[in-house]
Amino acid sequence: MPAQLAFETQSTWYEAQANRPPIGEPLKEVVETETCIVGAGLAGLYLAKELSERNRPALIVEARRVGLGASGRHGGFCGPGWALEAEKIEKHVGLEQAKTLFDLSLEGFHMVQEVLDSGEALMTPGILHPSTYHNAEDLLKNRDKMAKEYGYEVDYLETDAVRTMLDTSRYYQAYRDPKAFHFDALKLCLTLAEVLQKMGVPVYENSGMKEFHKTSMGWELTTEQGSVRCKQLVFCCGGYGGREFAKLRRAFLPITTYVIVTPPLGEKLKKTIQTSDGVSDERRAGNYYRIVDGDRLLWGGDITAFGEVHPERISQKMGKDFVEVYPQLANDLGSVPVEYSWSGLMGYARHLMPEIGPLDQGLWACTSFGGHGANTAPIGARLIAEAICLESERWRLFEAFGFPWNGGPFGPYVVESVYRKMQLGDHWRAIRSRW
């Protein structure tokens, strides 16, 4: 079954905790507005907020429900940076523009903090990045470069200090970002939806865009039962966009990634992971995890271009790495106890940077934030709001990346082979460290 069809039926831990309002009426009439936003993930919700704060009319049409895409099911890690590593951004656009882009990513990070500060969703500070092989030299070099060139300070930890916090021999040195934090992904989306409701911004759920076309006024899109006429149309579809997005769909690939949450593990977990930090290992194809609900572990990772949606197979897939790192947390059968498992789609462009900018006159893309969208989708949204309000042309920072072809039918095979190669490299470095 294609991932797009099944993800709605997966039960996420976030949904189980959430207090969702009843489903609003879908769009059933012809409405006019200045800006129509397609998609109610972080990009769409923040864009509507930014426009509304500038007193500009906007509405959202969402195919399913607010935050049911990646934004309400992600790992909950938020820190500065982009899906593409800083050194690759530097290679592409030079150090000066890379620094400006880093500052933008930091601005997005603060946009999340600001909304969470005003609501009920808690932020737990601290993200630890342990290495799975001896890596002191690179970590120190990176720490110094971040401080000197980007003005951003992180801490360095020796292996002993890491192993005091995390009871596993898999990890060596680490760097720790004390300012980054983790939080409840869905709560942020629902908080934003509440803010929009108070501002009087319509959010039509179960109202997927079927088709769009140009008109003398600007654009018109149709949903199952209604249509929207607007001057500005913005696509915030993440990895969930289909053929209705025409040429934008040919510029990104939907990539699936996975999360599991254990049942309460009690003292066993507290002894094993003695930190409230989120942990994201330093491998290029690594795992991340954090304690939620006092004594459950939320564990995420792996990416596939041909998505798995079956909960049991997701549990098996994720369980292998989990048990290798923390065998003491396995059950009597030697596997991971799992209460929730789910998958989600991320939109990735070939260059791994977001696709932010005009597709046509009054038609915008604000998408493809990859696996680093918690902070970058909000700032992407701000840039589009600034462009619509003729406040700035900061979106031009992304012109250097553009909307390259996603590789068509070959794209998924390329992604799979690159990712498996990265996994092999990670594995090899870890093995060499143990010799």
Ligand X SMILES: Cc1cc2nc3c(=O)[nH]c(=O)nc-3n(C[C@H](O)[C@H](O)[C@H](O)COP(=O)(O)OP(=O)(O)OC[C@H]3O[C@@H](n4cnc5c(N)ncnc54)[C@H](O)[C@@H]3O)c2cc1C
**Residues within the interface to ligand X (CB under 6 A):** 38-44, 61-64, 68-71, 73-78, 208-209, 236-241, 244, 257, 259, 300, 344-346, 367, 369-374, 377
Tell me 167's DSSP state: -
301, 132 Cβ separation under 8 angstroms = no
Q: How far is the CB of 207 from ligand X (least distance, A)?
A: 7
The whole-angstrom separation of Cα 417 and Cα 427 is 15
Nearer to ligand X, 225 or 328 (CB): 225
Nearer to ligand X, 315 or 367 (CB): 367
Nearer to ligand X, 211 or 324 (CB): 211
Q: How far is the CB of 163 from ligand X (least distance, A)?
A: 24
Nearer to ligand X, 165 or 185 (CB): 185
CA torsion sign for 38, 44, 47, 51 is positive
Q: How far is the CB of 343 from ligand X (least distance, A)?
A: 7
Q: How far is the CB of 433 from ligand X (least distance, A)?
A: 26
CA-based nearest residue to 170, from 270, 281, 273:
281
- Give kind and range of the element (H or E) at residue 367: strand 363-367
Nearer to ligand X, 148 or 243 (CB): 243
Q: How far is the CB of 127 from ligand X (least distance, A)?
A: 10
Quick one: how far is CA 147 from the chain centroid?
A: 25
99, 149 Cβ separation under 8 angstroms = yes
18, two tokens: 């959430």
333, 348 Cβ separation under 8 angstroms = no
Quick one: how far is CA 299 from the chain centroid?
A: 15
351, 404 Cβ separation under 8 angstroms = yes
218, 100 Cβ separation under 8 angstroms = no
Nearer to ligand X, 96 or 312 (CB): 312
Nearer to ligand X, 3 or 325 (CB): 3
Nearer to ligand X, 68 or 139 (CB): 68
Q: How far is the CB of 278 from ligand X (least distance, A)?
A: 8
Tell me 280's DSSP state: E
Nearer to ligand X, 158 or 194 (CB): 194
The whole-angstrom separation of Cα 322 and Cα 25 is 42
The whole-angstrom separation of Cα 106 and Cα 102 is 6
Q: Which residue has the CB atom at the shortest distance from ligand X?
A: 373
Q: How far is the CB of 344 from ligand X (least distance, A)?
A: 3
Q: How far is the CB of 108 from ligand X (least distance, A)?
A: 10
Under DSSP, is residue 222 helix (H, G, I), strand (E, B) or coil? strand
Amino acid, res. 235: F
Q: How far is the CB of 208 from ligand X (least distance, A)?
A: 4
Under DSSP, is residue 128 helix (H, G, I), strand (E, B) or coil? strand
- Give kind and range of the element (H or E) at residue 296: strand 296-304
Angstrom distances, CA of residue 84 to CA of 98, 146, 175: 11, 15, 19
Tell me 410's DSSP state: G
Q: How far is the CB of 238 from ligand X (least distance, A)?
A: 2
398, 353 Cβ separation under 8 angstroms = yes
Nearer to ligand X, 70 or 154 (CB): 70
Length of the chain equals 435
